[in-house]
Structure 1
Amino acid sequence: MQAKKFLKGRNGMSEKKSSSIESQWQKVLEKTDGIIHEDVVNAWIAPSVPVSLEGNELVLAVDLPGRKQYIESRLGALLGDIVQQALGPDFTFRVIVDPEAAVKKKPAKKEKVPPTEKNTVENPSAGEMTAAETVEYPTQGSLPLAPSDDTHATAPDDITTLNPKYTFDAFVMGRSNQFSYSMAKAVADAPGLPSHNPLFIYGGVGLGKTHLMHAAGHKILANHPEKRVLYIASTDFTNEFIRSIREKSMDAFRKKYYSIDVLLIDDIQFFAGQEQTQTEFFQTFNKLRDNGSQIILTSDRQPQDVKDLEDRLISRFAGGVVVDIQPPEFETRVAILQKKAQSEEVDIPEDVVTYIASRVDSNIRELEGALMRLIKYASMMRMPIDETTCIAALGNYLRGEKGRRITMEMIERIVCTHFKVTSDDIRSTKRSNDIAYPRQIAMFLCHELTEVSWPTIGGFFNRDHSTVIHAHKKIQNLTDSDAATKALIESLTIQIKGI
């Protein structure tokens, strides 16, 4: 790996002193070879700027709090060892956030490709490619601009347009998504920076990953109307790739994707197991990043947790900024419901908003779905929107949501009440049928109604996992063969889900 060169000289620092600090920093960068992956170095460490070397402490400036946090939490110990190897055993380093200092570094110099009709793209912010990486690019007119809100209707079929509803203004920010929101805005304000490329957003279903992706695309287009932005689902990318192979049109496929300025790919986890697709996307990824194009990806899990995904892709994805979105906390759920009601031009009483927000905590999609169900129910039944109507409209729905928060303690309490035994009894070593049977019922329900593992259930009841498996099998057989047991399980399940 070639160490990056930095701008010598900085306000308030002599040229000679700055040069000395830079030379020390270059030693550190060179020492990372073979210790930290090159992609990680280029994405997280190399963009840091050495601003002082007082005593034995090297101070590095970075542009964002997220970068500082990542370096300290993920790379701190390793980088500390490298600093000592490069500068001496008594040296340490410290990271500060100073955007003004961080932007003063020069980008790595690369040999320019001579402009020709085939490789010239009218994109002033695009990076430069080395001669060895020359590819044939289409001219500006070969790929239409990603349409703004007023051009959706005329967009060509092979360009997936941005959803006009998914903007930053429409996104409700809270503690659960603050960092991912901030990073998406940072990328939108300065697309193509190596430190932000790619932006990888992961989280559960319906939490706003796609919304943030589209919002970044809209913001980039607003700031740079000349840029070509393409949003596509990973499955559509795969289908288009397969079609191009079948129709022998791979040149056109590559020219299209290699000339994109901003590529947004949703649900990247569906590339898993698709070997040819992964190979093609790896090449596409490298070309776009080398060309200074911004890449934004979403997934339901972080890169290293996507099974059957090539290590080289995992490395590329993790080499940018990886952010997650968690389920919204109560205050954010309230704000989401209020914003949705406002967009639907419907007045929702505060107690109704609170009622829904306190019971639906899985994701934004379910939350807004509950509100829309209430609005439609009240309209059809000609009823006022109040808590009574809310319960009538969402009773079963809310019970289902509540069931998702079932705990082993809740199950144990219901079972103990039904059989008139205590928690101490059910967790004891007693083997009499009046205790063993309720215990087996409780174990069965814990497995059926929660996502807790066999060993964890066993630990809760002071049993090993094989005992839990045996109990589950026994109660399952009884449920299948005995109507009374089946009715009992159904009755207890209703009680537990109705808590």
Structure 2
Amino acid sequence: MQTLFPPESGESNESSKNLDPKQSPWLKIKQQLKELIEPDEFDKWIAPLDSKSHSDDEVVISLPDMTSYQVILDRFIDQFDYCKATLGLQVFFRFEIEGTESTASEVFEDDSSTLNELLSHNEVSDPDPQPDYTREPSSPVSRALTHHSQLNTEYTFQNFVNGPSNQFAHASCLAVADAPGQHYNPLFLYGSTGLGKTHLLHAVGNKVLKVKENAVITYITSERFMNEMIYCLRFNKMWDFRRKYRNCDVLLVDDIQFISGKERTQEEFFHTFNALYEAKKQIVVTSDIFPQDIPDIEDRLRNRFQWGLIADIQPPDIEHRVAILMNKADKQGVPLSQHVAEYIANHAKGNVRVLEGALRRVAAFAALQGVPIDIELASQILQDVLGDTGTKNITIESIQKIVAEHFKVRVADLKSKKRQRAFSIPRQIAMFLSRNRTQSSFPEIGAGFGGKDHTTVMHAVKKIEQDKKRDIEVKTHIEAIERKLDQLH
């Protein structure tokens, strides 16, 4: 069985003392590796390797093919590092595939449990800053590795159900995929969870790869970006990290809001962003929150998110939800009538995942019971999800609280009779939102605002509807408050 480290008998340390100091670093390491790795494995993967050149800080190792490169990284790179440390060598491994001119450095993934143990260490200094690689061309090896990226090939523009709620975001992503780095850079997509942001992100990468097969597409979640950075900081591999993320053609980052409060991660992403932007490489970022609303994030990074184009994705309307259901049913081979789709869409509101879950439950029950899918069956199965899930958490009280926080007034001021503009505008906006975001009647809203008459509420709703169309400041306030309300879902 292959061992990662030598036995505690001290044999390895003894042999390291007997090494010829005139030997090249690679021969010393290779001799050490022979003691750590099973003979069959060593003969197959390590023995054929040769060092093309070396210096005080770098060893260039020649590999016969891409398979050997991947095996070394996946199975033996820890032993390489152990030997380096045991021998006291401060060298960097650079791997070169025979037949290529460029070399490739190590690529590290964050699959080990070590990363999870490091999550709490947000402030780690870079012990050994390395040269900037932003102007070096991507190597053939790194380009080959991108073909094994984490892009989901099922997420394409062809199977994305386009509608009024996501039409602008869809068109923006198409434009970016057709001409990466030329228009709308960066592209920032935001919207509540389950509305298709990740689907569009993968669709951009898949379309670029379809047109240009050797394009370097890097898809990463912000959490994974942070984990990899922490790992590389801890083990002095920031050179590899920066080379990986600053030498891609398209960088796709999902859920960027999770770097909130992570100052070291924000700093590294800031420099990565700058390197790619200056090289005219495409950056696409998604978030559940509008850039201005992301808490605990540096202003310089927030500003860069707004350099290009910001496209929002809203919850789908009834027609769009029906279209999504019919599309999903067709792909899954579920016989779904238009009437049943409309019933599910009307009652299982919310994001796309809610719709998919409702469809799966109805289809599974029908298949197991051997009965057709009709409205009666849908009503029976979906009893616990019926109702307006999109607004069930939004009440007059919750709207009053968010509006008061937004305008920095008290909830009591919204319910008072004060006529100063500083109070009347927030009050009218709160009434407008209460009418549009809840099922409350005009009298009920009036009662919630200190016993106001229903005609006062009607006047406020009509006035804000008009002001929203002609006053950009009022429109901006309402959009900001609605984004906060959407997070209550």
TM-score (norm 2): 0.54
Q: Distance in 2 between matches of 1:277 and 1:271?
A: 7
Give CA-to-partner distance per residue, 1:297-333, whole Å, 9 cap, x none: 0001111110111101111110011000000011111
- Report the 3-state secondary structure (helix = DSSP H, G, I; strand = E; otherwise coil) of the residue aligned with 1:200: strand
- Counterpart of 1:137 in structure 2 is 136
After TM superposition, give the deviation of residue 346 of structure 1 in Å.
1.3
RMSD of aligned Cα (Å):
3.1
What is the alpha-carbon distance in structure 2 between the residues aligned to residue 169 and residue 266 of structure 1? 21
Residue 138 of structure 1: how far off its partner (Å): 6.2
| Residue aligning to 2:160 | 171
In the alignment, the residues of structure 2 paired with residue 405 and residue 245 of structure 1 have an alpha-carbon distance, to the nearest angstrom, of 42
1:463 aligned partner: 450
Q: Is the 8 A contact 1:118 1:139 kept in 2?
A: no
User: Equivalents in 2 of 1:242, 1:134: separation in Å?
Assistant: 20
**8 Å contact 1:180–1:325 — kept in the other structure?**
yes
Counterpart mapping for 1:265-276 below 5 A = 265-276=253-264
Preserved contact between residue 245 and residue 272 of structure 2 (Cα < 8 Å): yes
- Supply the distance in 1 between the matched residues of 2:172 and 2:135 (Cα, whole angstroms): 32
Q: State the distance in 2 between where 1:297 and 1:353 align.
A: 33
Q: How many residues align?
A: 286
Matched, 1:288 2:276: yes
Please give the residue correspondences for 1:14-413 in structure 2 after superposition, counting only pairs within 5 Å: 135=134, 137=136, 139-145=138-144, 155=148, 159=149, 161-193=150-182, 195-399=183-387, 401=389, 404=392
Tell whether the 8 Å contact from 2:348 to 2:388 is kept in structure 1 after alignment: no
TM-score, with length taken from structure 1: 0.53
Offset of residue 296 of structure 1: 0.5
Task: Verify the 8 A CA contact 1:329 1:361 in the aligned structure 2.
Answer: no
Alignment partner, residue 89 of structure 1: none
Could you report, residue by residue, the CA deviation over 1:26-63 in whole angstroms, capped at 9, with x for unpaired residues?
xxxxxxxxxxxxxxxxxxxxxxxxxxxxxxxxxxxxxx
Q: Are residues 118 and 147 of structure 1, via their aligned partners in 2, closer, same or farther at CA, if it must alter by over 3 Å?
A: closer
Change (3 A) 1:403 1:185: closer
- Which whole-Å deviations, capped at 9, do the CAs of 1:450-475 have from their partners, x for residues lacking one? 999xxx999643429xxxxxxxxxxx
Unaligned runs of 5+ in 1: 1-115, 120-131, 149-154, 410-426, 428-446, 465-499
Matched residue, 1:7:
none
Matched-pair contact (CA < 8 Å) for 1:177–1:326: yes
* 197 and 145 in structure 1: CA distance in 2 versus 1, 3 angstrom threshold: farther
- Give, as a single letter, the amino acid of the residue that structure 2 aligns with 1:354: E
Evaluate the alpha carbon distance shift between residue 402 and residue 307 of structure 1 in structure 2; reply closer, same or farther with a 3 A threshold: closer
Whether the 8 Å contact between 2:391 and 2:438 is mirrored in structure 1 is no
| Residue 139 (structure 1) shift | 4.4
SS in 2 for 1:401: coil
Name structure 2 gaps, 5 residues minimum: 1-100, 105-130, 398-414, 416-433, 452-489
The alpha-carbon distance between structure 1 residues 351 and 252, as it changes in their structure 2 partners (threshold 3 A), is: same
CA distance in 1, matches of 2:390, 2:311: 28
For residues 354 and 117 of structure 1, do their structure 2 counterparts lie closer, same or farther at Cα, with a shift above 3 Å needed?
closer
Q: What one-letter code is carried by the residue in structure 2 that aligns with 1:301?
A: I
Question: For 1:241 and 1:137, how far apart are their aligned partners in 2?
Answer: 21
Distance 1:258 1:462, change over 3 A: closer
Compared with structure 1, are the counterparts of its residues 146 and 391 closer, same or farther at alpha carbon in structure 2 (3 Å cutoff)? farther
Q: Deviations over 1:344-372 (max 9, x none)?
A: 01110111001011122311111111111
SS in 2 for 1:322: strand
Counterpart code for 1:461 = G
% same residue: 43
Q: Compared with structure 1, are the counterparts of its residues 270 and 405 closer, same or farther at alpha carbon in structure 2 (3 Å cutoff)?
A: closer
Aligned CA distance change for structure 1 residues 171 and 402 (closer, same or farther; 3 Å): closer
* Contact kept? 1:138, 1:256, Cα under 8 Å: no
Letter in 1 for 2:178: D
